[in-house]
Structure 1
Amino acid sequence: MTGWQVSGYRPVRQLGAGASGRVDLAVHDATGTPVAIKYLTGGIGADPAFRTAFRAEARLLAGIDDPHVSRLYEYVESPGGAAIVMELVNGVSLRQMLRAHGPTTPESALCVLKGSLAGLGAAHARGVVHRDYKPENVLVTAEGTSKLADFGIAMPVGESSGVSVTGTPRYMAPEQWTGAPASPACDIYAATATFYECLTGRPPFDGRDLITLRQQHARAPIPTEPAPVPVHDLLRHGMAKQPAERPQPAQVFLALLERMAADAYGQRWEERGLRELARRAALLAALFPFPDGTGGATSLASTAFGEGSGRWTWRRSGRARAALVGGGLAAALLLGGAGLAYAGRDEPLPAAGPAAPEAPTEPTGTPSASAVAPPTPAAGTTPTPTPPVAPAATTAAPEPAGTPTTTTTTSAPASPSAPPSTSAAPADTVAPSVGRVAADPTGLDPRGCPYGPTSSTISAVVSDDRTAAGKLRVSFRYTLDGRTTEVAMASGGRGSFRGVLGDLPRPATSTRIPVRVVAVDEAGNASPEGSPVHVTLYPSCTPG
């Protein structure tokens, strides 16, 4: 662990990391309480927009005090960085459990949903909508109980995210795809979709691109058949297409669940469900922050908030429980003219476009921040797939860069008098390889600003097995306000290429622009699309 650290805590080890932050296991010096500290990474921590979002997450969490929600102890902000000190839950994520053991029993799935509804209900009562409920954000303890974590994109009830669309697509309610104001109904939908995955081992909808997933959530019938018959009504109510048709508030849905569970599985359904969850968690004990089951401590109750020192403090009494908090804030992508936030460290979801051979993926996979979001169709229109990233010379998918091509020919032996045979060189099917991509600077003022930078140099290192660097066609692409722009990059020798991103219009809010480099060789092979480099466009000018 390197870089700035919160004083008063002894770091133990890193629990996870993402594009925008890391999570460390630490111990409070004064009380011995183990905690999870969520740090913003240096570059993003210097971004005022991301600091504002990080601070907002702390404000929202500070108002929630419920045993089914991972608590906030302290928020710290200083010139060196920003961090949230969280309760440490000694357990594993529901995602880890599903991947390791597959579907749960109906009683266990009902226990997860019950705990989730209790936690969401506590958040909603404080005016907070989670907006990113999914198996990664549910933590299961050694006792089989569950806690809700990671409020990285939470918002107050009724607040609009403007042009941005946020969430994880496999669990997003139909209205969430349209950027509707934050509503408890979208959390109810996501919790029910996760309940379905507990029962069946896969999300309710499995579209292979964003347009298909959006259509499935909005129009496809709720897939109750793979689930046990007694829970069909819960699925239909919780995943109703119209928000008003879902049971609200969460306590109403919780009462419905308990009546159904008792009728279908008997009065001791919860005891059996928790016992099974505890058994499954125990099989993954090696992944616990404290595998031996220890890690608690007692601290005296005290509450103190202070902004003058740049440090807010909230300490609680009682035995500190555990925590394996997922890594980092959600990273934003552009969805046409809107921002689509995906939680990090998930499996990729391909963008809409021409079909190509795919490697098998796990059915429980969820989209990640590295996915390229296609344009959002306007209401009442038929969405059309985005064009492919670059033209392909053949209908076959190119092999990964650097993969050797081997051709084996078997023929009858030539007679002594026959002339030696000749064979043509194998076709060029290897795509160029794009190496390190960088942007300098990574923050821009809009056009017309007199002091701050208004352009950024995008650089990349590109190589190919046959085409000389000078004959490669290299460009970068970015999407802003729903329009995708391609900019040619010039060769700087030794495989380096440069281009300029700049003179951009003033956005309504800080906008994080993903920039991707694509290279095409003389045979028409296009490089595979890699992870983007991000440039933040600010809505105001740097003061002079």
Structure 2
Amino acid sequence: MSGWRAPGYTESKELGSGGSGRVVLAFHDATSTPVAIKYLSDELRADQEFLQEFRAEAQLLGGLDTPYVVSLYEYVEGPGGAAIVMELVDGIALRALLRQEGATGPEPALVVLKGSLLGLAAAHRTGVVHRDYKPENVLVAADGSSKLVDFGIALRSGTKGAVAGTPAYMAPEQWNGRPASPAADVYAATATFYECLTGRKPFGGENFAELAVQHIEAPVPLEQVPEPVRELVRRGMAKDPAQRPADAAAFVAELEVIAGSAYGDDWEERGQRRLAALAAMLPLLFPSAGPAAGTVDLATTLVRRGGRHLTRQGMLAAVGGLVLAGLLTFAAVASGEGPRQTTANWTGETTRATPRGTSDAPGTAAPPGSPSPGQSPSPSQSVSPSASAGATDVTATPTAPTPTTTASASASASVTTTPTASPSTSTTPPVIVSEVSLTSLAQTGAFGASATIRVNTGDKRPVTVTVTWYTSDAKGELGTSDGAQTFTRNGSTSYTFTANHTFPRGGGCYYGAVATTDPPAGNGSSWQQILTRQCVIT
């Protein structure tokens, strides 16, 4: 990568990197708003097709207005580089959570599926197909909410592009090179839902050929899927796209009926609390935590252009799933691409996004951070984007469809992008929480427990403390979450308070509690566990 940096931002640390570029945590100089900046690598920027795709990704992001997809702040391009500036989600990739914790259980899995399906639905309404839905591209925030990221290989619905996607989640028609359709996103989302429910992918082929056969021909193994949601999995992963819900919005409607019937009206609240508790156990993976790993896992996105193979982060140049076309008679790989925009002839000037409501005339772009007229500033502290359209755990990714960028092929080649958000003009650095300590945990009554929590902060502004309760039959293991309580404290720099909880009759032999804060504390979190009086361990 060159030393070029998006002007107007100060970088803090790298969140992830790969063959297609890198993602960094940065702060907007004028407002101190935290953002995630995705830089395209120098090698891919020199390839006009990849550069055009990068611009298109920014266009897609700018065209989506939904809390379930990471927001675009601005697109920046100059002689030295290209960058997408996005909302920073302080969360972790679903992949990291699954790797650490395994199956989430039905209600959290339904919450993840619904949130990301709502993100897909926003894309589908604009005629865009994501094509790479997978756990790496779903972020779980500290409050248990989720966002969909990385539209790096998205296509217009009905476009017959190259075979692309992540093999473990690709719909049968994707393997066969058929035109992009929302039903393929429904399939991938259901495959991810299956993994949340069971802790494993639907099919375990060891190579591309095996996976292709399994996704195209093999029945979905439903034995490990909880019975109440088997119909969701069966419908969502039907081999024939015509037998699946037509798009993400239709699938959400089915999900809500089944979830409410099987788990009650408050299933979503319980599922989100459980997700928040699982995420809280991995505090060091949050962008707001300590140094990032700076690398990403092996990418699995497959890309082919005509007769030449291109690589996105970590791909095997001539081997990948595209060679599969020559190995499997049923995998018809399309070498043609859908319609593309004409690339503008760029001059040496830097092109920046123009916040909505400002003049598009050259030289009149509003300064970064200017809010749109009638639009309140939105300092979001959520999202880690991904450095490649391929795969990653440690990073998050931008997301969005619908063109809102116009490029002029004239000598001046001005570009204006209409973002859906801009860095806030009123953001201040968050309060520093130096430490959170769960100083004591004691049983109260037959099924109750009381925890004492101490929090030290750098100033007197508000801090949120979450105490998550657990039951377990094993010493040293948190076990199953039994809900959480949230407390807000302000006006001092040191707080000590008590949280009480009643566990269900017949719960585990051990009670546990985890204390976390927002903003995150310097020590991450604190927890204790006690052996209850009703159990005797010999």
Instruction: Please say if 1:321 is aligned against 2:319.
Output: no
Map 1:9-88 to 2 at 5 A: 9-88=9-88
Tell me the TM-score normalised to structure 2 length: 0.58
**Shift, 1:344, TM fit:** 4.1
- Which shows bigger deviation, 2-11 or 94-103? 2-11
C-alpha deviation, 1:319, in angstroms: 3.1
Report the Cα offset of residue 128 of structure 1.
1.3
Which residue does 1:272 correspond to in 2?
A: 270
Matched letter for residue 192 of structure 2: T
Structure 2 residue ranges without an equivalent (≥5): 291-353, 395-538
User: In structure 1, how many angstroms separate the alpha carbons of the residues matched to 2:99 and 2:363?
Assistant: 44
1:190 corresponds to which residue? 188
Kept in 1: contact 2:36–2:88 (CA 8 A): yes
Residues 254, 344 of structure 1: alpha-carbon distance in 2 compared, 3 angstrom cutoff: closer
Report the CA distance between 1:248 and its aligned residue. Answer: 2.0
Q: Is the 8 A contact 1:109 1:199 kept in 2?
A: yes
Question: Residues 178 and 23 of structure 1: is their aligned pair in 2 closer, same or farther, counting only changes over 3 Å?
Answer: same
Secondary structure at 1:92's aligned position in 2?
Answer: strand
**Do the aligned residues in 1 keep the contact of 2:136 with 2:392 (CA within 8 Å)?**
no
**Structure 1 residue 322, shift from structure 2 partner:** 1.4
1:83-232 equivalent positions in 2, closer than 5 A: 83-161=83-161, 164-232=162-230
Aligned residues of 1:18 and 1:344 also touching (Cα < 8 A)? no
Q: Does the aligned pair in 2 maintain the 1:78–1:310 contact within 8 Å?
A: no
Q: CA deviation at 1:209?
A: 1.0
- Cα deviations across residues 445-485 of structure 1 (Å, max 9, x unaligned)? xxxxxxxxxxxxxxxxxxxxxxxxxxxxxxxxxxxxxxxxx
Cα distance in 2, alignment partners of residues 90 and 77 from structure 1:
26
Q: Provide, for residues 478-510 of structure 1, a one-character-per-residue CA deviation record: whole Å limited to 9, x for no partner.
A: xxxxxxxxxxxxxxxxxxxxxxxxxxxxxxxxx
Identify the residue that residue 411 of structure 1 maps to in structure 2.
Answer: none
Distance 1:212 1:253 in 2: 28
Task: For 1:47 and 1:321, locate their aligned partners in 2 and report how far apart those are by CA, in whole Å.
Answer: 33
Q: Which residue identity does 2:268 align to in structure 1?
A: E
Give the direction of change, closer, same or farther, for the CA distance of 1:158–1:280 in structure 2 (3 Å limit). same
Residues 129-163 of structure 1: CA distance to partner in whole angstroms, max 9, x if unpaired? Answer: 110000000000000000000111011111221xx
Cα shift at 1:271: 1.0
Change beyond 3 A, Cα 1:243–1:304 = farther
Query: What is the alpha-carbon distance in structure 2 between the residues aligned to residue 160 and residue 307 of structure 1?
Result: 36
Q: 1:326 to 1:311 in 2, by over 3 A?
A: farther
How far residue 61 of structure 1 moved from its aligned partner, in angstroms, is: 1.4
**SS across alignment from 1:77:** strand
Contact 1:77–1:311 (8 Å) recurs in 2? no
Question: Aligned-pair distance for 1:326?
Answer: 1.7
What is the CA deviation profile of residues 79-126 of structure 1, one whole-angstrom value per residue up to 9, with x for unaligned ones? Answer: 111111111101100000001111101100000011011110011111
AA aligned to 1:19 is G
Taking the aligned partners of 1:310 and 1:39, their CA distance within structure 2 comes to 25
Residues 178/268 of structure 1: CA separation in 2 closer, same or farther (3 Å cut): same
Q: Which moved more, 1:134-143 or 1:42-51?
A: 42-51
Aligned-pair CA distance for 1:72: 1.1
| Matched letter for residue 381 of structure 2 | R
Shift in Å, 1:321:
3.0
Partner in structure 2 of residue 338 of structure 1: none
Q: Report sequence identity in percent.
A: 57
Q: After TM superposition, which residue ranges in structure 1, 4 or more long, deviate above 3 angstroms?
A: 300-316, 344-347
Q: Partner of 1:380 in structure 2?
A: none
CA distance in 1, matches of 2:269, 2:183: 28
Q: 1:276-311 deviations in whole A, cap 9, x for unaligned? A: 00001111121111139xxxxxxx985558595799
Instruction: Name the amino acid aligned to 2:110.
Output: L
Question: TM-score when scaled to structure 1?
Answer: 0.57
Alpha-carbon distance in structure 2 between the residues aligned to 1:79 and 1:307: 20
1:478-489 equivalences under 5 Å are none
Aligned pairs for 1:433-444 within 5 A: none
Going from structure 1 to structure 2, the CA distance change for 1:108 and 1:153 (only over 3 Å counts) comes to same
Counterparts of 2:361 and 2:288, CA distance in 1: 33
Distance across 1 between alignment mates of 2:216 and 2:364: 44
Aligned mates of 1:305, 1:166 — CA distance in 2: 38
Q: What amino acid is the match of 1:322? A: S
Relative distance call for 1:172 and 1:311 in structure 2 (3 A) is farther
Measure the CA separation in 2 of the matches of 1:311 and 1:318: 19
User: Against the structure 1 CA distance between its residues 183 and 307, is the aligned structure 2 distance closer, same or farther, given a 3 Å change threshold?
Assistant: farther
- Aligned residue for 1:525? none
Task: Give the C-alpha shift of residue 237 in structure 1.
Answer: 0.6
Give the Cα separation in 2 of the matches to 1:115 and 1:75. Answer: 26
Tell me how many residue pairs correspond in the alignment. 325
Are the equivalent residues in 2 in contact too, given 1:117–1:251 (CA < 8 A)? yes
How far apart, in 2, do the equivalents of 1:74 and 1:232 lie?
Answer: 42
Match of 1:257 among 245, 255, 259: 255
The 8 Å contact of residues 133 and 189 in structure 2, kept in 1 or not, is answered as yes
Q: Specify the structure having the higher radius of gyration (Cα).
A: 1
**3-state SS of paired residue (1:165):** coil
Distance 1:18 1:31, change over 3 A: same
Deviations 1:503-523 (A, max 9, x none): xxxxxxxxxxxxxxxxxxxxx
CA contact (8 A) 1:76 1:311 kept: no
| Residue 167 of structure 1, CA deviation | 0.3
Q: Find the counterpart in structure 1 of residue 476 from structure 2.
A: none
Aligned-residue RMSD, C-alpha: 2.4
> CA offset at residue 320 of structure 1?
1.3
Residue aligning to 2:503: none
- Pairs within 5 Å for 1:514-525: none
Contact 1:4–1:80 under 8 Å retained in 2: yes
Q: What are the ranges of 5 or more consecutive residues in structure 1 without an aligned counterpart?
A: 293-299, 331-342, 348-544
Greater relative contact order, per chain length (Cα 8 Å cut-off, separation 6+): 2
Query: Contact between 1:75 and 1:311, CA under 8 Å: does it hold in 2?
Result: no
Q: Aligned ranges for residues 236-251 of structure 1 at < 5 Å?
A: 236-251=234-249
